[in-house]
Amino acid sequence: MDEVVALDPEAPTVTVAAGITYGQLSPYLHSKDFALHNLASLPHISVAGSCSTATHGSGEKNGNLATAVSALEFVTANGELVKLSRQKDGENFSGVVVGLGALGVVTSITLNIQPTFMMRQYVYENLPLAQVKDHFDAIEASAYSVSLFTDWQKQRFNEVWIKTRIENSQPFNSAPEFFGAKLATRNLHPIAELSAENCTEQMGVPGPWYERLPHFRMGFTPSAGKELQSEYFVPRRHAVEAILAVERLRDQVSPHLMISEIRTIAADDLWMSPCYKQPCAAIHFTWKQDWPAVRKLLPVIEKELAQFNARPHWGKLFTMPPADLKSKYEKVPAFVELCKTYDPRGKFRNEFLNTNIFSS
Ligand SMILES: Cc1cc2nc3c(=O)[nH]c(=O)nc-3n(C[C@H](O)[C@H](O)[C@H](O)COP(=O)(O)OP(=O)(O)OC[C@H]3O[C@@H](n4cnc5c(N)ncnc54)[C@H](O)[C@@H]3O)c2cc1C
């Protein structure tokens, strides 16, 4: 189920079969002069899986990918096809979009689109931690999408990835220095030792939105390939304190880490989104593939970030006890009721959902 079902240039929206990947959809949209508002770091993932787990990109004015959903259809446990839209179904719709697979099988999704646009991507190296501490808001406001990569060593961010829309009235000034970081002179991988071959074009070369918003290119292995991932969302106002809290754990974190990434995401109204009613900064960890070690480390990070009410990414690894997790999502009780409406006998439940959502 990976086809485009309909393009409505007037709305403007695109309706897709749920299994389509962003890598399949994006070139089609661009060929029709349309674009999505944002993409994750990789285009390989499906629209249904991404929206169901509140997958996001970066950019303080950009909501996660699920915020583009304006309607969806899903098959419930008794085989009924349910159609919901933002316009007609208000609150229920907000509960269903980030559905964690708990409500039924999503078969089609309608996404808001916009006129296509071109972008440039610049990478800067060695951004001092002190600059992030003092100028986080200015750094994040400097472009459409900003990602900070760090190994938490040497009080600096190894790389800053800046993605800027070319038609922006205030274009990004690609000066040789950015808050003390130096403009890179070649394409880079977020993990600098790895080849940049699988990364999207940098160095300010213009390209369509779908070849600049993700870090990784379709057709190539994304990120490092063999890895584990975790990510925690903190309210945007606590971003700097949360970054400093993780930085203090650097000696415990670094031996198991490939790279961390900091991004910002706009607030939304989707019940199970980590950005429900709050703009967030997200602190991501790409871990070496050593689950016993990572499993011991995650509670340490979670304890440190608890003071900021950090919420984990649904599609990445976490160890937070279910009671803590649920206490951070005020809409869990309403979501459980919604699940009971569409799946009264729990056909779509699994170990993850039973543990994290439905346990009492
Ligand atoms: C290399 C790499 C980079 C990543 N980068 C990012 C990033 O930049 N930002 C970010 O937020 N996340 C990122 N992730 C995490 C990723 O976005 C999530 O794992 C996402 O769920 C992947 O989508 P998928 O289609 O592969 O998921 P799947 O595993 O197919 O689906 C995820 C879940 O969605 C639900 N689901 C899927 N399809 C349906 C359906 N048809 N109906 C109902 N429910 C459904 C199910 O609950 C399923 O378990 C990254 C992951 C990797 C491996």
Q: 3-state SS of the chain?
A: CCCEEEEECCCCEEEEECCCEHHHHHHHHHHCCEECCCCCCCCCCEHHHHHHCCCCCCECCCCCHHHHEEEEEEECCCCCEEEEEHHHHHHHHHHHCCCCCCCCEEEEEEEECEECCEEEEEEEEEEEHHHHHHHHHHHHCCCCEEEEEECCCCCEEEEEEEEEECCCCCCCCCCCEECCEEECCCCCCCCCCCCHHHECCCCCCCEEHHHCCCCECCCCCCCCCCCEEEEEEEEHHHHHHHHHHHHCCHHHHHHHEEEEEEEEECCECCCCCCCECCCEEEEEEEECCCHHHHHHHHHHHHHHHHHHCCEECCCCCCCCCHHHHHHCCCCHHHHHHHHHHHCCCCCCCCHHHHHHHHCC
- Residue 231 Cα, ligand 1 centroid: separation in angstroms? 13
CA 52 – ligand 1 centroid, Å:
7
Closest ligand 1 atom to the C-alpha of 223?
A: 1
- Dist. CA 316 → ligand 1 center (Å): 9
Mutational test site, ligand 1, from 21, 44, 50, 100, max ligand atoms within 8 Å of CB: 50
Residues belonging to the chain: 360
Contact criterion met (CB below 8 Å) for 37 and 114:
yes
Mean pLDDT within 297-324:
97
- Rounded distance, CA 31 to CA 29, Å? 5
Distance CA(245)–CA(248), nearest Å, equals 5
| Residues at CB less than 6 angstroms from ligand 1 | 18, 40-42, 45-46, 48-50, 52-53, 55-56, 100-101, 105-106, 222-223, 229, 313, 315
Nearest CA to ligand 1 atom 32: 49
The Å distance, Cα 49 to ligand 1 centre, comes to 4
Distance 264 CA to ligand 1 centre (A): 19
Residue nearest to atom 29 of ligand 1 (CA): 49
Contacting residues for 219 by C-beta, under 8 A, at least 6 apart: none
Q: Which of 46, 98, 106 to mutate to test the pocket of ligand 1 (most atoms within 8 A of CB)?
A: 46
Q: What percent of the chain has pLDDT over 70?
A: 99
Ligand 1 atom nearest 105 alpha carbon = 42
Q: How far is the CA of 242 from the centre of ligand 1 (A)?
A: 25
Task: Tell me how far apart the alpha carbons of residues 231 and 282 are, in angstroms, rounded to a whole number.
Answer: 7
pLDDT band per the 50, 70, 90 thresholds, residue 170: low
Residue of minimum CA distance from atom 20 in ligand 1 = 50
| 107 has a pLDDT exceeding 70 | yes
Answer whether 76's CB lies under 8 Å from 103's CB.
yes
Centroid of ligand 1 to alpha carbon of 182 (angstroms): 34
Which atom from ligand 1 is nearest to the alpha carbon of 53?
21
Q: Determine the distance separating the centroid of ligand 1 and the alpha carbon of 45, expressed in angstroms.
A: 6
Amino acid present at 240: V
Average pLDDT over residues 27-47: 97
Which of ligand 1's atoms lies nearest the C-alpha of 104? Answer: 43
The Cα 182–Cα 18 span in angstroms is 42
Question: Is the Cβ–Cβ distance between 42 and 100 less than 8 Å?
Answer: no
**Cβ contact 8:108 at 8 Å:** no
pTM of full prediction above 0.95: yes
168 pLDDT band (50/70/90 cuts)? Answer: low
Q: Say how many C-beta atoms besides its own lie within 10 A of residue 288's C-beta.
A: 15
Q: What is the pLDDT of residues 214-268, one digit of tens each?
A: 999 987 778 778 899 999 999 999 999 999 999 999 999 999 999 999 999 999 9
Question: What is the mean pLDDT of the segment spanning 313-340?
Answer: 96
Tell me the sheet residues that pair with 148.
Answer: 160, 262
Query: Which atom of ligand 1 lies nearest, measured to the CA of 214?
Result: 8
Across the range 19-28, mean pLDDT stands at: 97
Ligand 1 binding pocket mutation candidate from 20, 45, 358 (most atoms within 8 A of CB)? 45
Which residue in this structure is represented by tokens 């079969």?
A: 17
Rounded to an integer, what distance in angstroms lies between the CA atom of residue 267 and that of residue 94? 13
- Distance CA(287)–CA(128), nearest Å, equals 23
Give the per-residue pLDDT at 222.
81
- What is the Å distance from ligand 1's center to 42 Cα? 11
Token pair for residue 310? 């950090």
Q: Residue 118 — pLDDT band, cuts 50, 70, 90?
A: very high
Ligand 1 atom closest to the Cα of residue 74 is 42
CA 148, CA 298: separation in Å to the nearest integer? 21
